[in-house]
Amino acid sequence: MQAVLEGRDSLLVLPTGGGKSLCYQAPAVFRDAATVVISPLISLMKDQVDGLRACGVGAVQLNSALSPDEVRAAEQEVLDGSARLVFASPERMATRSFREFLKRVGVRTFAIDEAHCISHWGHDFRPEYRQMKELKTHFPQASIHAFTATATEPVRADIVEQLGISNGEVLVGNFDRPNLTYRVVPRSDQFAQVREVIGRHAGEAGIVYCVRRRDVDELTPRLKAGGVNAVAYHAGMTAEQRKAAHDKFSQEKCDVVVATVAFGMGIDRSNVRYVLHTGMPKSIEHYQQETGRAGRDGLEAECVLLYSAGDAMTWKKLLQKSVAEAEGQGPVDPQYLDTAYRHIADMEGYCRPVTCRHRALVEYFGQKSEIENCGACDLCLGDAEPVADAQTIAKKILSCVYRVQESFGAAHVAAVLRGANTSAVRERGHDKLTTYGLLAGNSPSEIRDFIQQLIGQEVLVQAGNEYPVLKLNPASWDVMGDRRTVQLRAIAMPEGAADSAEQPKSRSSKSAAVSWAGVDRELFEALRGLRLELASQRGVPPYLVFSDATLRELARIRPSTLETMRLVYGIGEAKLREYGQVMLEMLDAQCRSRDLSRDVKSAAPAAARGPSVPKKLTGAAADAALLFRQGLSIDEVARQINRARSTTADYLAEYIQSEKPDSIAAWVSDDLYQKVAAAARGTDYRLKPIYFALGEQVPYDVIRLVTAHLANES
């Protein structure tokens, strides 16, 4: 935000739901000139414009969905200064008439959303985005700001080069989404597994992703027949059909969307409680972006991936088909194919149960992780249990790879170990090998899963792209000679469920228990119903009325007046005026009929609290901590570490939480400290009530520092 306000170019990488949009929306409110937001989808523009207008911020969209009269009306709003944010597509930016209009308006800021589309090495390259490199030529006085949720270091470098912002600020946020619980489950009975996940999220919003359109068309009617309120979405449907599905889901008129990856970029529904992949995505970038559509309100959500070793081959075949079709139009860069194969291999690596899922994602995007046990993935929650005879199983697998002369893939090796009586095994004489049938008691999927885990532990190698084969390495011989040990995991099944269709038990994450603490569920559901009514009356998606996080807070605190409602997380002045009275009437009626207490003092969810859980400081935060130990001021530290003052203040709060200094007098005067401390009593360190109790005169940064210090003493 500081870079935008100061007119410095920037690239911001934050995970989905991390606040990218706010970073160009908020500064635009304080600018005299309009900010142009370049966005790839009309539906995405519409959602953002609707959301901004609901909050009282002037915004317009200019795209092909508007009539000429609507375009003229929108342009007039920009010209007279009532609209500060202009949303447009890359294609519209390419037209001379639109560029001339923007020059007449005096635009000085461009925000490019989904900026990974610029890069050849990203996962979602769009040729029309390459035109954005002309912005510096047409608008030399304007600052360029790129925003994306999925960019590894090479992609970031390409974005910077393409946009000509080499001297700009490159900011990479924390990729960890602690409110998401990640699970990777071997795919067996796909439909039963899909129904099980949907069943434990009954009445909640979810997205089910399929690899192919035909999978969507087959799964959706089966779910509907089973009583699931589901709609289909894929690129083979007409624009009208896709819009109808999108609107139905956004407006909470259905619970589940079954879709290909064509769905999602334009959806801004904040209360998606689960994302289920019926097959492995083709890259970690895709997976991170798609799972990031869950839990955008900061509350708990689950991400389940049904995985089979054959998924990688499916993607490779689709990739080869796509390249062959593209070559009919001209040569294809060979590096593109290599990059795509690498993405598939990286995604396969993530699916192996070797390390914490949160840690794997954070480290993939080039960040260090101190996570030991996240408490929010299948491995850390104990969904997958250690296999007692792992070393023996590993030696049998490695020995079989050796016996078949390192010339076959995982499926064939598994068939030999299982003792399969197939022509492929018999014709090669592999039924005569000493390793034939050594793992007859294990299923094919279990053996393939063990093979993938050995690859993940780098004691076995998968070589080749199109038809990969298994090969040994020096570490393989160390295992066979018992000079190195390995660990294997298997999905934990309920007792007695080995021969039944019962699914593995899924343990709840810590964040789920915390976010529901003190919430009256019946009242929450009543408030959801009222929210749906209000949204329908106003023709907007329900999340634009209030988020689930706000409704849970209302059902937890149960405010008795508009003044106390004003202190609830997610309720600003505009929404208090618009919805406060009708919400208060609902609370009055519900609490009176059920004899519920009001104005409850209870622990707030993480989104509303001040101090967070202490963590080990790394990177710039650790550099700042060294200087804070010397008693340097926020401004002095900001200059030395070359960060904005607001960012440095965040580092100071982290330092206070982590190192627990006896005093913070170097940064907050004793008088101000005592004033904030007095206002904080009975608030559970919730920042918003403290801010209002202090007459809106004390900055949030100061309140954060004091509450972080107070939390250390409690």
What CATH number is given to the structural domain containing 270? Answer: 3.40.50.300
Mean pLDDT of the chain: 85
User: Could you tell me the pLDDT band of residue 24, with boundaries at 50, 70 and 90?
Assistant: very high
DSSP, collapsed to helix, strand or coil, labels residue 207 as strand
Tell me what pLDDT residue 602 has.
Answer: 54
Segment among 117-121, 217-221, 406-410, 684-688 with least mean pLDDT: 117-121
DSSP, collapsed to helix, strand or coil, labels residue 276 as strand
Q: Are residues 226 and 193 in the same domain?
A: yes
Residue 259 per-residue DSSP state:
E
DSSP letter for each residue of 87-133 = EE-HHHHTSHHHHHHHHHHT--EEEETTGGGG-TTSSS--GGGGGGG
Whether 590 is in a domain gets the answer yes
- Token couple for 708: 């972080």
Phi-psi bin for 531: left (phi > 0), alpha (psi -120 to 50), beta?
alpha
Residue type, 255: D
Whether 608 is in a domain gets the answer no
pLDDT digits (tens, 9 = 90+) for 425-437: 999 999 999 999 9
DSSP, collapsed to helix, strand or coil, labels residue 147 as strand
Alpha helices in 544-644 (DSSP H): 548-557, 562-565, 573-594, 619-629, 634-641
Whether 234 is in a domain gets the answer yes
Q: Are residues 321 and 459 in the same domain?
A: no
User: In the predicted model, is pLDDT for residue 609 greater than 50?
Assistant: no
Tell me what pLDDT residue 645 has.
Answer: 80
The C-alpha atoms of residue 113 and residue 135 are separated, in whole angstroms, by 14
Give the range of the structural domain holding residue 530, as residue numbers without chain letter: 517-594
Whether 306 is in a domain gets the answer yes
Q: Are residues 524 and 563 in the same domain?
A: yes
Backbone angles phi, psi at 514, to 5 degrees: -65, -45
Mean predicted confidence (pLDDT) in 555-575? 89
Q: Are residues 580 and 435 in the same domain?
A: no
User: In the predicted model, is pLDDT for residue 501 greater than 50?
Assistant: no
User: Could you tell me the pLDDT band of residue 297, with boundaries at 50, 70 and 90?
Assistant: confident
pLDDT digits (tens, 9 = 90+) for 37-58: 998 777 678 778 887 887 788 8
pLDDT digits (tens, 9 = 90+) for 193-204: 999 999 999 889
Run of H or E residues at 462: strand 461-463
- Token couple for 639: 């200059």
Q: Are residues 302 and 324 in the same domain?
A: yes
* Burial class for 349, CB neighbours closer than 10 Å (0-12, 13-18, 19+): middle
User: In the predicted model, is pLDDT for residue 505 greater than 80?
Assistant: no
Residue 508 per-residue DSSP state:
P
Q: Residues of 633-672 as b/e, b for ≥16 C-beta within 10 angstroms?
A: ebeebbeebebbeebbbbbbbbbbbbeebeebeebbeeee
Whether 609 is in a domain gets the answer no
Domain boundary (313, 348, 382) is at 382
The percent helix, strand, coil of the chain (3-state, each to 5) is: 50, 10, 40
Q: Are residues 484 and 585 in the same domain?
A: no
Segment among 389-403, 564-578, 596-610 with least mean pLDDT: 596-610
Residue type, 557: I
Q: Which of 161, 179, 180, 145 is nearest to 13 (CA)?
A: 145
Residue 179 Cα to chain centre, angstroms = 10
Q: Which of 576, 521, 579 is nearest to 552 (CA)?
A: 521
| Beta-carbon contacts of residue 566 (< 8 Å; ≥ 6 apart) | 573, 576, 580, 692
Domain boundary (356, 382, 408) is at 382
Q: Are residues 525 and 417 in the same domain?
A: no
Domain count, the chain: 5
Residues 565, 567, 571, 577: is their CA dihedral positive or negative?
positive
Domain boundary (112, 144, 172) is at 172
Residues 165, 167, 173, 175: is their CA dihedral positive or negative?
positive
Segment among 271-275, 448-452, 500-504, 581-585 with least mean pLDDT: 500-504
Backbone angles phi, psi at 111, to 5 degrees: -115, 125
How long a stretch of residues is the chain? 714
- Token couple for 142: 């304007």
User: In the predicted model, is pLDDT for residue 515 greater than 80?
Assistant: no
The C-alpha atoms of residue 604 and residue 681 are separated, in whole angstroms, by 14
Whether 500 is in a domain gets the answer no
Higher pLDDT among residues 657 and 481, named by residue: 481
Give me the residue label for tokens 């589309």: 117
DSSP, collapsed to helix, strand or coil, labels residue 433 as coil
Q: Are residues 23 and 126 in the same domain?
A: yes
pLDDT digits (tens, 9 = 90+) for 670-697: 889 999 888 888 777 778 888 888 888 8
Segment among 84-88, 400-404, 674-678, 687-691 with least mean pLDDT: 687-691
Give me the residue label for tokens 């469920």: 497
Mean predicted confidence (pLDDT) in 255-260? 93
List the beta bridge partners of residue 181. Answer: 302
Give me the residue label for tokens 């689950």: 302
Tell me what pLDDT residue 607 has.
Answer: 43
Mean predicted confidence (pLDDT) in 658-672? 89
pLDDT digits (tens, 9 = 90+) for 223-237: 999 999 999 999 899
Q: Are residues 8 and 121 in the same domain?
A: yes
Q: Are residues 296 and 366 in the same domain?
A: yes
User: Could you tell me the pLDDT band of residue 264, with boundaries at 50, 70 and 90?
Assistant: low
Q: At 662, which CATH number?
A: 1.10.10
Q: Are residues 582 and 624 in the same domain?
A: no
Give me the residue label for tokens 């080869």: 320
Q: What is the dihedral of CA 399, 400, 406, 407, to 10 degrees?
A: 170
Q: At 390, which CATH number?
A: 1.10.10.10
List the beta bridge partners of residue 112. Answer: 38, 146
List the beta bridge partners of residue 419. Answer: none
The C-alpha atoms of residue 154 and residue 338 are separated, in whole angstroms, by 14
Tell me what pLDDT residue 182 has.
Answer: 95
The C-alpha atoms of residue 512 and residue 551 are separated, in whole angstroms, by 15
Tell me what pLDDT residue 508 has.
Answer: 58
Tell me what pLDDT residue 110 has.
Answer: 95
| Beta-carbon contacts of residue 601 (< 8 Å; ≥ 6 apart) | 682, 683, 684
User: In the predicted model, is pLDDT for residue 134 greater than 60?
Assistant: yes
User: In the predicted model, is pLDDT for residue 605 greater than 70?
Assistant: no
User: In the predicted model, is pLDDT for residue 555 greater than 50?
Assistant: yes
Is the distance from CB of 511 to CB of 302 less than 8 angstroms? no
DSSP, collapsed to helix, strand or coil, labels residue 287 as helix
Whether 270 is in a domain gets the answer yes
- Token couple for 417: 């170990």
Q: At 565, which CATH number?
A: 1.10.150.80
Segment among 272-276, 585-589, 602-606 with least mean pLDDT: 602-606
Is the distance from CB of 303 to CB of 369 less than 8 angstroms? no
User: What's the predicted TM-score (pTM) here?
Assistant: 0.73
- Token couple for 357: 């899922």
Q: Are residues 213 and 337 in the same domain?
A: yes
Share of the chain above pLDDT 90, in %: 35
The C-alpha atoms of residue 115 and residue 12 are separated, in whole angstroms, by 9
Whether 605 is in a domain gets the answer no
Q: Which of 264, 248, 252 is nearest to 124 (CA)?
A: 264
DSSP, collapsed to helix, strand or coil, labels residue 661 as coil
Report strand pairing: 384-386 vs 489-491: antiparallel
Mean predicted confidence (pLDDT) in 99-124? 84
Backbone angles phi, psi at 304, to 5 degrees: -115, 130
